[in-house]
């Protein structure tokens, strides 16, 4: 587990990207957590979740390469149009309790279909800390 400890942790850094294509040039805040104390643990847990859950990227894209590949496969003719949406405050209202409940349900559901466990612990047990460690 030593590889999960950040050797020289730093607080997350906040950078600003100016949206020059928008009126009044608003700023897009960008937070880099790469050197944050929890970065390596978070990355480890994301990989473990993906190991145990086959999340379908049905309504979103996995990464920009996947999106580029999907876009090159589209057959577009003169009757098609394109629309884009600007999403504001995307993650502000994500409810932690509900998100954890959904994740726990999906992991439990996956347990019934896949007998994989680590050191006699189910994936559900591996991902959930005692309640006192969870944000409220």
pLDDT band at residue 108 under the 50/70/90 scheme:
confident
Q: Cα(29)–Cα(53) distance, rounded to whole angstroms?
A: 31
* Best CA proximity match to 126, nearest among 43, 45, 41: 45
* Domain spans, the chain: 38-133
Q: How confident is the model at residue 94 (pLDDT cuts 50, 70, 90)?
A: confident
Give the H/E segment covering residue 101: helix 96-113
Helices 39-52 & 96-113, crossing angle to 10 degrees?
A: 40
Q: What is the pLDDT of residue 132?
A: 46
Q: pLDDT band for 22, please (50, 70, 90 cuts).
A: confident
CA neighbor of 110 nearest in space, from 41, 56, 42: 56
Is pTM, for the whole model, over 0.85?
no
CA–CA separation, 31 and 51 (whole Å)? 26
> What mean pLDDT do residues 104-133 have?
60
**Tens of pLDDT, residues 73-86:** 988 888 988 787 77
């Amino acid at each position: 587990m030593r590889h999960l400890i950040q050797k020289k942790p730093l607080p997350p850094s906040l950078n600003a990207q100016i949206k020059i294509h928008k009126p009044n040039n608003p700023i897009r805040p960008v937070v880099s957590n790469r050197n944050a104390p929890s970065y390596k643990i978070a990355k480890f847990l994301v990989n473990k979740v993906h190991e145990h859950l086959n999340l379908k990227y049905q309504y979103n894209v996995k990464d920009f390469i996947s999106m580029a590949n999907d876009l090159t496969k589209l057959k577009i003719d003169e009757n098609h149009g394109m629309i884009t949406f600007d999403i504001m405050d995307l993650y502000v209202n994500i409810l932690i309790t509900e998100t954890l409940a959904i994740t726990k349900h999906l992991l439990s559901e996956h347990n019934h279909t896949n007998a994989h466990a680590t050191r006699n612990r189910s994936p559900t047990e591996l991902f959930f800390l005692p309640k006192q460690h969870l944000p409220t």
